[in-house]
């Protein structure tokens, strides 16, 4: 008998299974697979969270006014051009639903962040990938892929999982040559780790174009991943439409309070970023000395190749790190990246463990 079921209008997404085995040596498991910050929030941020959770019977402010005011002061932006959401992931989805539908093409760079295909799937758009060079976005390749159906271009700088980025001058060139009817989204989730005035330049692009949106997050440099809060900066004309697509109370009260406190603790964020960048450079040097190919990262995570440049040895490398040192890393399974693993840059003791375990792995081959 044929079973009659409702017709879904979205392709199913298989959620990847995480490591379910017990660590064989009984070591503590250190999860380096989510590009998180290893430092806990500092006391004033924790105090802001606790203060809010004591009043959890009240909703958070739906338009996140105080967060927007704090962001506007911190980054010298117009608060009326900012929208706060449940992580920048939610805002990428909001943008996708506003600017693309089943007639659209969504353009991304070849190894672009996994959420971009997920958003394209949700809205039924056709995903178009522009080829990269050395795991890095190529602006001319993106421009060559533009068609009359391209409605949205998502670009993460630095990108996840590659960790690479292109200079601000290249994004400016992209902005100049891209037809103005295409929404260009610049995802700066990791930009604090890239240093310099990159973010300021990207915000200036928003202010000088009607089609550019910048997304940012408190999950990475600010270390608030578990609370889920991110934001976007868009031209004023887009804001009411973006609100129409966003849930009403998506950024919870504790996340809002924590974000404001984190912005007040600028020095602590800067110190954390400096430590991660120093460790990133130290790990890169150590792994290169072991003969491991390291893709130059501008973020708080790194993508490195397996010794034989094969998916099989990447699987063995990830299994070795778990079995030998209790380190959980991410196997990049995207087409063309199967021979890499990706891991967060963590505390020096965790990073030492990673370097030592990889040295043993290489030596055992
Ligand atoms: C490139 C990129 N953009 C956006 C996000 C989403 O971050 P969140 O939803 O925590 O703000 C991530 C998370 O890993 C990411 O890698």
Query: Is the Cβ atom of 157 under 6 angstroms away from ligand 1?
Result: no
Distance 2 CA to ligand 1 centre (A): 42
Mutate to test the pocket of ligand 1, among 189, 215, 258 (most ligand atoms within 8 A of CB): 189
* Ligand 1 pocket mutation pick from 88, 95, 162, 345 by most atoms within 8 angstroms of CB: 88
89 lines ligand 1 (CB under 6 A): yes
Q: Which of 36, 186, 217 to mutate to test the pocket of ligand 1 (most atoms within 8 A of CB)?
A: 217
Cα 237 versus chain centre, distance: 26
Q: Is the CB of residue 327 less than 8 Å from the CB of residue 354?
A: yes
Alpha carbon nearest to ligand 1 atom 3, residue: 189
State the Cα–Cα distance between residues 13 and 227, nearest whole angstrom: 24
Q: Which residues of 289-302 are buried (b: 16+ CB within 10 A; e: fewer)?
A: eeebebbebbbbbb
Supply 103's token pair.
């007639």
Pick the CATH number of 43-264 from 2.60.120.10, 3.40.640.10, 3.30.70.20, 3.30.43.10: 3.40.640.10
For the beta carbon of residue 38, count every other beta carbon within 10 angstroms.
21
Q: Where are the domains of the chain?
A: 30-41+267-363, 43-264
pLDDT at 21: 86
87 Cβ below 6 A of ligand 1? yes
CATH 3.40.1390.10 fits 30-41+267-363, yes or no: no
**Measuring CA to CA, which residue among 151, 193, 202, 147 is closest to residue 175?**
202
Question: Which residue puts its alpha carbon closest to atom 12 of ligand 1?
Answer: 189
Check: CB of residue 188 under 8 Å from CB of residue 214: yes
218 CA closest ligand 1 atom index: 11
Confidence (pTM) = 0.97
Tens-digit pLDDT profile for the chain (365 aa)?
Answer: 678 999 988 888 887 777 778 999 999 999 999 999 999 999 999 999 999 999 999 999 999 999 999 999 999 999 999 999 999 999 999 999 999 999 999 999 999 999 999 999 999 999 999 999 999 999 999 999 999 999 999 999 999 999 999 999 999 999 999 999 999 999 999 999 998 999 999 999 999 999 999 999 999 999 999 999 999 999 999 999 999 999 999 999 999 999 999 999 999 999 999 999 999 999 999 999 999 999 999 999 999 999 999 999 999 999 999 999 999 999 998 899 999 999 999 999 999 999 999 999 999 98
Does ligand 1 lie within 6 Å of residue 156's CB atom? yes
**Distance of alpha carbon 131 from its chain centroid, rounded?**
20
User: Which is it for the CA torsion 119, 214, 103, 179, positive or negative?
Assistant: negative
C-beta pairs of 348-354 under 8 Å, 24+ apart in sequence: 348/279, 350/30, 350/32, 350/38, 351/279, 351/282, 351/283, 353/30, 353/325, 353/326, 353/327, 354/32, 354/283, 354/321, 354/325, 354/327
Top mutation candidate among 91, 92, 219, 250 for ligand 1, by most atoms within 8 Å of CB = 219
């Amino acid at each position: 008998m044929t079973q009659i079921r409702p017709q879904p209008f979205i392709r199913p997404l298989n959620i990847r299974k995480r490591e379910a085995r017990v660590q064989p040596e009984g070591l503590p498991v250190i999860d380096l697979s989510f590009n998180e910050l290893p430092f806990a929030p500092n006391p004033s941020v924790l105090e802001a969270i606790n203060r809010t959770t004591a009043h959890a019977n009240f909703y958070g402010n739906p338009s996140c006014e105080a967060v927007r005011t704090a962001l506007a002061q911190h980054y010298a932006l117009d608060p009326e051009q900012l929208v706060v959401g449940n992580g920048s992931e939610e805002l990428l989805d909001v943008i996708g639903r506003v600017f693309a539908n089943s007639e659209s093409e969504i353009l991304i760079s070849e190894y672009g962040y996994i959420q971009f295909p997920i958003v394209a799937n949700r809205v039924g758009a056709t995903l178009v990938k522009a080829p990269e060079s050395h795991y890095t976005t190529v602006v001319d390749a993106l421009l060559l892929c533009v068609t009359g159906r391209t409605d949205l271009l998502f670009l993460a700088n630095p990108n996840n999982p590659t960790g690479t980025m292109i200079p601000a001058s290249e994004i400016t060139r992209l902005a100049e040559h891209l037809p103005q009817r295409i929404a260009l989204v610049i995802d700066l989730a990791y930009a604090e780790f890239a240093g310099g005035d990159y973010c300021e330049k990207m915000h200036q692009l928003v202010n000088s174009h009607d089609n550019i949106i910048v997304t940012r997050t408190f999950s990475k440099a600010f270390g608030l991943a578990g609370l889920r809060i991110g934001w976007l900066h868009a031209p004023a004309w887009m804001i009411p439409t973006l609100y129409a697509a966003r849930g009403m109370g998506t950024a919870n009260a504790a996340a809002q309070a924590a974000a404001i406190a984190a912005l007040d603790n600028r020095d602590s964020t800067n110190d954390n970023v400096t430590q991660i960048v120093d460790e990133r450079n130290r790990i890169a040097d150590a792994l290169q000395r072991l003969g491991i190919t390291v893709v130059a990262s501008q973020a708080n995570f790194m993508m490195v190749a397996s010794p034989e440049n094969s998916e099989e040895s990447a699987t063995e490398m990830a299994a070795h790190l778990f079995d030998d040192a209790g380190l959980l890393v991410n196997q990049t399974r995207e087409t063309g990246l199967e021979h890499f693993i990706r891991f967060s840059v963590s505390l020096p003791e965790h990073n030492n463990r990673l370097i030592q375990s990889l040295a043993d792995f290489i030596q055992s081959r």
